[in-house]
Amino acid sequence: MFRSHVSVTIVRQLVEISTKHRLFVFGKLITGKRIVGSMRWESSIRPAPLLTATPVRTLVDEQTCIKASFLPSNHHVTVCARMRSDEGDLWQSFAHYNSNSGGTFDLNSDLSVGGSYSGCEPMGLFWSMQPAPGERDGLRLRKKCVESPYTVHISLLEGHVSPNQEPVKELAAVTAERWYMAPGVKRQEIRQNGLVGTLFIPPGPGPFPAMLDMWGMGGGLPEYRSSLFASRGYASFCLAYVGHKDLPGPPNTINVGDSYFQAAFQFLQDHSHIAADKVGIVGLSYGCYLTFHTATLAGVKPACLIGINGPVGSSRELLRVNVMTKECDKDQTFWNYDDQGYVIFKQTSLPSNLYPESIVKLEEITCPLMYIVGEDDLSASSKENADLIEETLRAAGKSHLFTRLSYPGAGHLIEPPYSPMSRASFWAVKPEKLMTLWGGHPAPHAAAQEDAWKKMLEFMELNLRR
């Protein structure tokens, strides 16, 4: 009697508990002694939604896998990414997703159905970023300090919403770091023998292959491509040649000439951590012209060249031997404007509009040359310049040296992968504001940046390490 009473009491208590917590008992009472069978616990409390980014700390040319879990099945959510530029401006992107029957979704395999991009885009949250509403006009995202990362706050929001709506319910969040400079890379400012630049050396004893890195007429000293090269095992010297406080002359003029670029190349060859016969040159826009021009100077024997959306000559008159002093903002002969008043520089670099004496003697180039074309480039006549390079090298019996990469829908600023595209940005703000059109469309431009970077590294591997 006592044992039977106790067993019935236990069952009664279990039934009472089950009304609150849905405890299901499977089995039967045997001889009043014990309950035989299994129990399944189903809590009415669902685990909190979880958002993960793997890995949370990466180089900017690496993918981050973003996943969400513990959502209701077939649930509408928004993933939002936000970060501050080095100048303090807020950049953001967002995308709408629907969880599957298991309450999860994965940016590597699932489709965005709206927002800043659509379709399956594993890194769409990064390359689709744009200035948030209310930020300054004409922004272009460029890393100023490569020794610190971009810190990206990624949040999971309830429903298909815009992150600027109020109120917005945040379900989960994670923070990711995106670095241009790997641990162990050494950064050294160079101000010697008249040179103005920054040298990046990879970790380890060397000697390393190296790149001389030149940007366009925007001027200054952008370091982020060079620091990323060093993170991939290549010493890199980013060289300023216009618009830098440590260069001679007015900031809007080029006041250095052939000897300056010869000295920069020689600086790399003479460095104790660099393999003297494994030095290449890379340039974008006007830096592309300087890349080809430098390769033909006396004493300069590069192992390879990479040109990105730039001319084979200068539209600015060489006023005297070895020094260029034409004011950059006065050469407006071939400028065009769209209906918003944005300037289009494309016609300026047509081969027929270049000063004949400035056009590089391409037939003198003796090393492999890769040229990258954004087919929607509105700032340079890239396709026409690529054609001229190809025709000249073919006529010189050097077709085997030439590699062309051409990307439909890509604009002028083909940068490291997953960088946000700027179709237009401020070219100058003084004495008056001037917006320029770079061209490009976000998704194809992003694809071009990813593919071009991969092929650039393969090209460098082939010609600088073997």
pLDDT in tens, 136-158: 999 999 999 999 999 999 999 99
Residue 14 has pLDDT above 90, yes or no: no
Residue with tokens 């920069």: 264
Q: Is the dihedral of CA 136, 139, 144, 147 positive or negative?
A: positive
pLDDT at residue 316, as a whole number: 66
Residue 20 has pLDDT above 90, yes or no: no
* 270 a catalytic residue: no
Domain over 186-464 is classified CATH 3.40.50.1820: yes
pLDDT at residue 28, as a whole number: 35
pLDDT at residue 18, as a whole number: 41
396, 414 Cβ separation under 8 angstroms: no
pLDDT at residue 165, as a whole number: 86
What mean pLDDT, rounded, does the chain reach? 89
CATH 3.40.50.1820 residue ranges for the chain? 186-464
Residues 256, 61: Cα–Cα separation, whole Å = 33
- Residue 273 — left, alpha, or beta (φ > 0 → left; ψ -120 to 50 → alpha)? alpha
Cα 99 to Cα 48, 63, 175, 298, distances in angstroms:
14, 22, 21, 62
Among the residue ranges 5-9, 140-144, 270-274, 318-322, the one predicted with the least confidence is 5-9
Residues 61, 121: Cα–Cα separation, whole Å = 15
CATH 2.60.40.2240 residue ranges for the chain? 50-179
Residue with tokens 């460095």: 271
236, 202 Cβ separation under 8 angstroms: no
Could you give the percent of the chain with pLDDT greater than 70? Answer: 86
Q: What band does 331 get if pLDDT is binned at 50, 70 and 90?
A: low
Section 120-135 average pLDDT: 97
Residue 54 has pLDDT above 60, yes or no: yes
pLDDT, tens digit, for every residue of 343-367?
999 999 999 999 999 999 999 999 9
Q: What band does 36 get if pLDDT is binned at 50, 70 and 90?
A: very low
pLDDT at residue 317, as a whole number: 56
* 377 a catalytic residue: yes
Cα 135 to Cα 20, 95, 193, 289, 439, distances in angstroms:
51, 20, 41, 34, 21
Could you give the percent of the chain with pLDDT greater than 90? Answer: 80
Residue 262 has pLDDT above 50, yes or no: yes
Catalytic residue among 96, 271, 293, 412: 412
Catalytic residue among 93, 236, 285, 381: 285
Residues 425, 175: Cα–Cα separation, whole Å = 28
Catalytic residue among 314, 377, 425, 445: 377
Q: What band does 315 get if pLDDT is binned at 50, 70 and 90?
A: confident
Which position has the higher pLDDT, 71 or 328? 71
pLDDT at residue 333, as a whole number: 82
What's the fold here for domain 50-179?
A: Immunoglobulin-like (2.60.40)
Section 151-179 average pLDDT: 95
